[in-house]
Structure formats: structure tokens, C-alpha cells
Amino acid sequence: MGRAHVTVSQLLGLEVDPDGDEPIYRQLRAAIVNAIESGGLTAGEALPSSRALAENLGVSRSTVNLTYHELVAEGFLVVEERVGYAVHPDLDGPDDDEANEPSQVEWAGRVVDYGDFLIHLRKPEGRHSRPFPFVVGAPDPALFPTADWARAMRATMSDEHLPALLFDHIDTDDPLLVDRLRAEVLPARGIEATPDQILLTMGTQNGLHLAAAALVHRGERVAVEEPGYPDAAHIFVRAGAELVPCPVDDQGIRIDEATDISLAIITPGHQCPTNVTLSAARRRRLLARADSDDLIVIEDDHNSELRHRGRPVAALKSLDRSGRVVHLGSFSKYLGPGLRLGYVVAEPTLIAKMRDIRRYDVRHPPGLLTRTMALFIERGDYARALRRVRSTIRERWEIAVDAVHEHLGWDLTFPAGGASLWLPGPEHLDATALVEQASDRGVFVETGASCFLTDPLPDHIVRLGFSGLPTQSIQPGIEQLARVAEQQPRSAK
């Protein structure tokens, strides 16, 4: 049956490197598999005995036997009586036609086309390494409570809490974190909730995705803020929604003129990206319209705790008496977006549907994160970390606002909240050029164009995230930005 007693060098042209990084048996296995797949070894062809192969290579017979046994288990080889090891009879080498260049998949025609007309928010690599990285949404690693978080994580690894980390909870949530949410986090936002009204998520964006999957029927009209959160627009377009942009002024979203809508997505605490707070009068009108028009309101509680003057305004959900507000919150917003941990508060029927969708997507958030966060809150560490973050970002906000007024000289009024500044410049400003030129001076800022849906997109707005910078870098960074802005031509665009 084929060539039975030839040396491995004749058969495979094999050389093994005993000093190589990869074990010898893995080198040998790779060579035999390659020979089978390239046609050097054909179906049914016998291999050298383990003794002959070991002697030829100068390796131990046990190494060869280990290789042969693994290849038998994987279906590359069979053991035949009076022959020994041979190539599996069903493994034919490539035909002449098959040896030619394989056909390429036309992936552009195979993947789903969402018909996406929106701008994708991109942030270049290396942005954090610039001297003045005014990155929106970036945390300051110096503010992360490393020791407290590590202590809570170590406790999660104890026998008492290990099941929360290791078990597959299918579609259920960590009961300790749900309990801490109900007892300590939600009351601060004015919200009371039962366990069946709460779902844990992998961040606010995951909550938006689950809400869209549960609520949007194709062609349904959804009111969104303009300017607004770009990723929310992407998520709901991909779910089949028709977006209805609603303007934002210094009182928040103006939704009165939006017609035939069934959903509204808003950021009432500190609007993304302008940071304005939805006024009390508009909150009342929105909830009244929700009742009269059978409207569901999705509340993204964006940066609600980062109020720099006075106390944070209670969540819109706290005023909801008919269960029409779907509240999305985040634990990781104040600690670090990379933690990816948030929650939804809504009526039990909707929560059950979102839970079912989550199960067949990610099942549940990682148990290590949820139990660590529960213990982190229970020990008071979350409240202390939040106070520290609020105090530091308040100081940085004051410095950033003063520096903008002093150096940029644009006539701007800033809402007292948030972790970034929304800077509409003079009409002649070319924000795209400004961003590129500022980058050359080590200053990273972003344009505001991606936050708009309606053409023509404005190009005179800059977004400046100040929360992730060391406090001492904010003023000189804005001064550098102002120097670049001064070089902009003054003629109208």
C-alpha cells in the first residue's frame, strides 16, 4: 500500500529544530499535515514506522508516537493492520484544477448592507499620546480607584462569591448588583424600581441596541436630538427606524413639531453633545405628549451626575407615572468606559423582552464585573469615587471655560455640566482644517459634524473633552488651540 519504508527526509523534506520555540512534535505534525494537504502524501499512503522516523530525525520514539496519535485523533491518519500508520483514505490531495489560485469570496455582496448614510465617529490612533489630548469621553487613569477596585475584585474571587463569577447565569442578572442598584444608585436619581424592572447591560450603547431590537418596527419614526449622540442614530437606523431630527436649544430638545413618532431618544440630564439640561416645562410637556400619543421615551442618563453648579437634576424616569420612560444608566461612565457595564430600568414586559434578546446575543454581562461592581458599591467605594470624579471634573470644567473665554474669545455660554465643551465658533471657522492644524501642534480636538443628521452639516463647531487631561494641561492646551484658530481666514465660507 504505497511507499512504506522511506525516510522522512525523502517523504517530507522535513527538518526539525530541537532549539526552536515550537515543540518538536508540533513541528513534525505541521510537516505531515502540510504534505497531505499539498499532495506530497496521498490517500492510503503508509508512513514510516515510529522507530524509523525517530532514528531518522534523531528524536525520541515517544515524540513520534505522540505526533502519530494526535494525527489519528484528528482524522489525518489511520492505523491499518500489517501496515501501521497511513494517510486516511478519504484525504485526497488537490486536483490540478484545485491547485490553481483559489477563488476569492466577494464579501461586499455577501455582508449585510445597512444603507448607512450617517457619519461614523472615528478617533485616530495615538490621540492619547499627544501633549494635549482633548478626547471626548476619555477617562483620566489617575482618577480610577485602583486599590479599592482591586480589593473588591479579590473579594469576588473568594469562595463566597466565586459562583457569581464562574457560573453560566443564562439570562439572569447578579442579584447582589441589582440589590445595590435599587438601594444606592437609583434612589440618587429619584427612581424606585423592583427587580423585574431592571436589566444589566454591557454599557449604555448595549442598552440602546436592546431597546432598538425590542421596540423598533421597520419604518417606524423615531425622534432624535440634533445635534445628538451619533451612535444612537446608527443603532436605530440599523434596526429599521426612520429618524426624525429634532432641534436642540438652550432648554433641550424641541419635539413639539415632530409628527407621527412612536419613540423618542433623549439625553435630558446633560444633553449629548451640548450639555444643556432639558427644562422642567419641556419635561412636563414631553411626558404629557407621551401619554396622549402613546409615545415611548428612551432616556439616556448621559453624564447626569456631572453637574458643576447645584445638585444633579432628577432623572426623567422619576417623573414617569405611566411606565413610558425607558431609563438607561451606566456604572462605567464615571470610572472608565472600558468597563462596559450599565443598566436599564423599564416596565417588566419590556425588560423581559430585552432580557430574551440579550440572552441570544451575549447571555449576560461578565460575572467578574457585575459581582466586583456590587461589592465596590456595597463597601461605599463607588460613592467615594464618584465624589472624587465630580470634584476633579468640576475644577477642570472651570479652568476650561475660563481658558476658552480668555484665549478663544468666542461669545459662548456653557451649561454647568458634562465632561466636554461644545464650541460653536464663528461662521467663517473651518473646523475640519482647525482639527488637522491643531494636531500638528500636539492638540487633539474633534469637529461636531458627526453629531448632525441634516445637510448641510455645519463645519464651524469643535468638541473639546477636558475630563481626561491632567488639570495643569488644560489651559496651555486651549491656548495652543486658540493660536491655530487665529490663523483661520476671516472671510465667510
Residue 467: give its domain's CATH number: 3.90.1150.10
Residue range 202-226: average pLDDT? Answer: 96
Q: In the prediction, which pLDDT does 397 show?
A: 97
Indicate whether 259 and 331 sit together in one domain: yes
pLDDT value at position 131? Answer: 87
Asked whether the predicted pLDDT for residue 147 surpasses 80, the reply is: yes
Rounded Cα distance, 228 and 452, in Å: 7
Q: Which of 222, 219, 283, 223 is nearest to 252 (CA)?
A: 283
Same domain, 33 and 180: no
- Burial tier of 49 (Cβ tally within 10 Å: 0-12, 13-18, 19+): middle
The pLDDT, as a whole number, for residue 4 is 41
**401 and 288 within one domain:** no
Buried b (16+ CB within 10 A) or exposed e, 117-140: ebbeeeeeeeeeebebbbbbbbbb
**For residue 111, what pLDDT is reported?**
84
Residue 191, pLDDT above cutoff 90? yes
Q: Which residue in this structure is represented by grid cell 489511520?
A: 78
Q: What is the spatial distance between Cα 329 and Cα 203, in angstroms, rounded to a whole number?
A: 8
CB 234 within 8 A of CB 209: no
The predicted pLDDT at position 2 comes to 42
pLDDT tens-digit series, residues 36-57: 888 888 888 888 888 888 888 8
Q: Cell numbers for 286, please give them.
A: 414631553
In sequence order, the 6+-apart residues with CB closer than 8 A to the CB of 471 are: 392, 395, 396, 399
Domain boundaries, position 227: 143-379
Taking 70 as the threshold, does the pLDDT of residue 3 lie above it?
Answer: no
Residue 470 lies in a domain: yes
Predicted local distance difference test score (pLDDT) of residue 1: 39
- Cα separation, 445 vs 465, in Å, equals 8
Is residue 134 in some structural domain?
A: no
Give the integer Cα–Cα distance in Å for 337 and 351: 23
Question: Do 362 and 443 fall within a single domain?
Answer: no
CATH of the domain at 216: 3.40.640.10
The domain total for the chain is 3
Given 311, 345, 379, which residue is the final one in a domain? 379
* pLDDT at position 107 over 80: yes
pTM of the model: 0.83
Give the pLDDT confidence score for residue 38 in this predicted structure. Answer: 81
- Structural domain includes residue 230: yes
Say what percent of the chain tops pLDDT 70.
Answer: 94
Q: What percent of the chain has pLDDT over 90?
A: 71
370-392 burial code (b ≥16 CB/10 A, e <16): bbbbbbbbbeebbeebbeebbee
∠ Cα 379 380 383 (to 5°)? 150
The pLDDT of residue 247 is 97
- Let me know if residue 251 belongs to a domain: yes
Nearest Cα neighbor of 302 from 253, 255, 261, 351 is: 253
Does residue 104 belong to any structural domain of this protein? no
Domain boundary among 379, 407, 426: 379
> What does the DSSP assignment read for 427-480?
TT--HHHHHHHHHHTTEE-EESGGG--SSSPP-SEEEEE-TTS-HHHHHHHHHH
pLDDT of residue 432: 94
Q: What is the mean pLDDT of the chain?
A: 90
Q: Is residue 108 part of a domain?
A: no
In angstroms, the CA 313 to CA 307 distance is: 8
pLDDT tens digit sequence for 292-321:
999 999 999 999 999 999 889 999 999 999
CATH number at residue 81: 1.10.10.10
* Same domain assignment for residues 156 and 177: yes
Q: Are residues 302 and 322 in the same domain?
A: yes
Please give the residue that has the higher pLDDT: either 384 or 96.
384
Cα–Cα distance between 278 and 253 in angstroms, integer?
Answer: 7
How far is the CA of 154 from the CAs of 145, 373, 376, in angstroms? 14, 12, 11
149-184: b (≥16 Cβ within 10 Å) or e:
bebbbebbeeeebeebbeeebeeebbebbbebbbee
Query: Given a cut of 70, is residue 12 above it in pLDDT?
Result: no
Q: Does a structural domain hold residue 304?
A: yes
The amino acid occupying position 7 is: T
pLDDT for residue 97 is more than 60: no
The C-alpha cell of 222 is what? 423615531
> Is residue 228 over pLDDT 60?
yes
Domain end among 48, 69, 87: 87
Going by pLDDT thresholds of 50, 70 and 90, the confidence category of residue 6 is: very low
Question: Same domain for 332 and 200?
Answer: yes
* Region of 457 on the Ramachandran plot (φ > 0 left; ψ -120 to 50 alpha; else beta): beta
Mean pLDDT, residues 316-345: 94
pLDDT band at 13 (very low <50, low <70, confident <90, very high): low
CA 243, 204, 178, 158: dihedral to nearest 10 degrees?
Answer: 150
Beta sheet of 446-447, edge-to-edge order:
420-424, 461-465, 446-447
Q: In terms of domains, do 232 and 282 share one?
A: yes
**Span 442-477, pLDDT tens digits:** 999 999 999 999 989 999 999 999 999 999 999 999
Q: Are residues 237 and 273 in the same domain?
A: yes
Query: Does the residue 235 lie in any domain?
Result: yes
Segment holding 291, helix H or strand E: helix 280-293
Is pLDDT at 277 greater than 60 in this prediction? yes
Encode 253-285 in three state secondary structure.
Answer: ECCCCCCCCCEEEECCCCCCCCCCCCCHHHHHH
Whether residues 255 and 358 fall in one domain: yes
Ranking 73-82, 352-361, 474-483 by mean pLDDT, the lowest is 73-82
Shared domain check, 373 and 280 = yes
In this prediction, residue 365 has a pLDDT band, given cuts at 50, 70 and 90, of very high
Same domain, 147 and 293: yes
